Structure 1
Amino acid sequence: MTAASDTVAAKPAKSARPSSFRLLTNNRLAALGLIVLGIVVALALLTPILPLDNPDVTDPANRLLPPGTAGHLLGTDHLGRDILSRLLWGTRVSLAVGLSATLIAAFFGSLIGLVAGYFGGRADALLMRSIDMLMAFPYILLALGIVAVLGPGLLNALYAIAVVNIPFFARNIRGVTRGLAHREFVDAARLSGKGHAGVLFTEVLPNVLPVIVITMSSTVGWMILETAGLSFLGLGVQPPQADLGSMLGEGRKLLFNAPFVSVIPGLMIFALVMSINLIGDGVRDVLDPRLRSGALARPSARTRVDRREVPAMPDRETDDALDVIDLKTEFTVGSSVYRAVGGVSLDLKDKECLGLVGESGSGKSVTAMSVLGLVATPPGAIVGGRVVVDGADLLEVSDEALRGLRGGKISMIFQDPLSTLHPLFTVGDQIAEAIRSHH
């Protein structure tokens, strides 16, 4: 039996973990949503200084002019008002109402969820039963009821949309807070003398904040859509002011003889909601700790093999049970490459034992997992060497052949049962499963 290793990791000159913006733009759909939303927001912000007609001035003599008409790029509506001007001013209103309603719902819903999840007991029961009462009604009917009581209007529509979305935030944040309320770092903060408010807002809230951000990014689009729905029914923005929903409602009567009057604001609503939802999905991925580490995709079922050096196969007549020849495994994090296994060679005879000794992080576990192709890709990859069992290089065999060897001919017993044993099955069943699979 012989063994040789060189597992000294090359220290990168600088950390090159992908930034949040890079992670977001690496997601093509999120990048597309970011571009579309950026264009829409830029136009909305520039609307007051753009040379546009007054959106509220009527001109019946020029009613229903088609798109492309001189002086009216997108045409005019049934009262002769310029559609482009009303579209941009209406987009400003819809964006402002959607974002404001999201912030209000996020603030009150998150506060309720934090208090209920942290204190539990009667406070949790009282707050969550109140939330359950709100959730007992279909949200759009509840919004209509609130507007009916308060009266039609933009501000009342904002309040209605915010109120009906508070339970969504409260439920999500309460569940996460319950899981954090009795964690070790929270108990340590209490023992250090911090009061409930200090623990809640300095220890729990920072850990819940990513969930709040994700929830906001995924709901702001729907709030814009809900606001447009109320305006479509005549309960939101009141004439002559315009938003996207009211423009859509006015154009529905002209759908057959002048469809562009309703199609244009409808396309703007579609672009806004879809771009915001795509960005929300991207933000969720950016806040994933595994993606932050540099793994830009879900790990595959087998370690990627990209060997720059392939040693010669050992003598066919050898009686070694396992030959590892100059094995090299690397992790790519951003633009940096970390050498986790820098050239390990060993051979084992039948019934022979070998111990790998080294400090934490020296590459012992990665060496063992590389033999079976269990290193997560991305970010790991085997870049050199051979792993020979029964005369076959495991780095060259098919996925099906490797699955047949795993757990039968060659296997790995992990040191952390909490992450490797399934909590819903007995230990005996899980051990027997491997035996039944191969025998």
Structure 2
Amino acid sequence: MSKSLQAIRGMNDILPEQTPLWRYFESTVARLLDNYGYKQIRMPIVEFTELFKRSIGEVTDIVEKEMYTFEDRNGDSLTLRPEGTAACVRAVLEHGITGGGQTQKLWYIGPMFRHERPQKGRYRQFHQIGCEVFNLDGPDIDAELIVLTWRLWGQLGIRDAVKLELNSLGTSESRGRYREALVEYLSAHLDKLDEDSQRRLKTNPLRVLDTKNADTQAVLVDAPKMADYLDDESRTHFEGLKARLDAAGIPYVINPKLVRGLDYYSKTVFEWVTDKLGAQGTVCAGGRYDGLVEQMGGKPTTGVGFAMGIERLILLLETLEQIPEEISRQVDVYLCAFGEAAELAGLALSEQLRDQLPSLRLQVNAGAGSFKSQFKKADKSGALYALILGDDELAQQVVSVKPLRGQGEQQSIAFDALAAHLATCIVQG
């Protein structure tokens, strides 16, 4: 017997009972970003591999171990995007929309791909919403990105479950001085470092700071601190960011070990973390990358942004039971029609209702069926009301409106009064 077909490990189907929550989350974020003046951009899922090597860094875990890379028929090396910032930078450079110092406030949504060990909250195909801002170099825009995420957590009802962590990585020059001091210190304690940290010490020493190994963490207690190596510009920028967060009433903690996993960050880095999801605690992260555009061949252009993991935030909403009641119900009204004449009248009536009540979620029974079978389908749909249309109703030009969730008694409503009745008991109520 042939092996049954199934999804690739770590790449999951999002089933119909799950999609209402996804749509609610995505629409909430989209509406918020619209309100803050951000414009959506859509980039391809596949890019030339060189894009990610140049931007993310060839010695990062993502490029070394996690990318889905292949050669196409032309012999070009292509990669499924592992993150969105590099692709967004490529797009704004290619189309020249940041030229001449033009400010751009952009956002995107879509799947990303990394060959990681799948576990709860971590997948090989995962979805992100990201924001990128170009040609604004002050701490005010860093603060705005954090403020709008804080507002989002409030709208979703999860503020009490997340915590903001901040750090500054300084400029490339100050970070270089710090890297030298860190390498010198860690090299003197090489025998106490775990194997992964020993490897990172030679390739990407700042990544040692976010190790989970207890022995290495103990070594880092007395390691040099990034804050002691910050240049005046970065220190002033960081103080300006903190002052704005204080003014907005947003709590935060300084995490000197927060470095992010990508090479392109400078100055501000931040993460929103939670302790409600076990090991997968980061739900949104980002920072400033003022040298990335120039590194990718453009003119000097400042940049700052973030990405949030949709799967983890959906899981957090489910864990905290912050799911609005209305999104669990996909149908407001279910129309049952008995007999061909009633079916024809029901079709016309349902389209009139959709014209009059655009937000009404109305499902019309298909496939005919007995009174009992249609009512069973109406109840299974989750609708609040069943509309009943048969020969008796047609003769009187009325519809029987039957509550399915205990909202009162069955009523007969005239055709021309039905929309107003439903507006009162469903759309407005």
Query: TM-score band (shorter)?
Result: under 0.3
Could you say which structure has the larger radius of gyration? 1
Q: TM-score, normalised by structure 1?
A: 0.23
Structure with a larger share of its residues in strand:
2
Q: TM-score, normalised by structure 2?
A: 0.24
Structure with a larger share of its residues in helix:
1
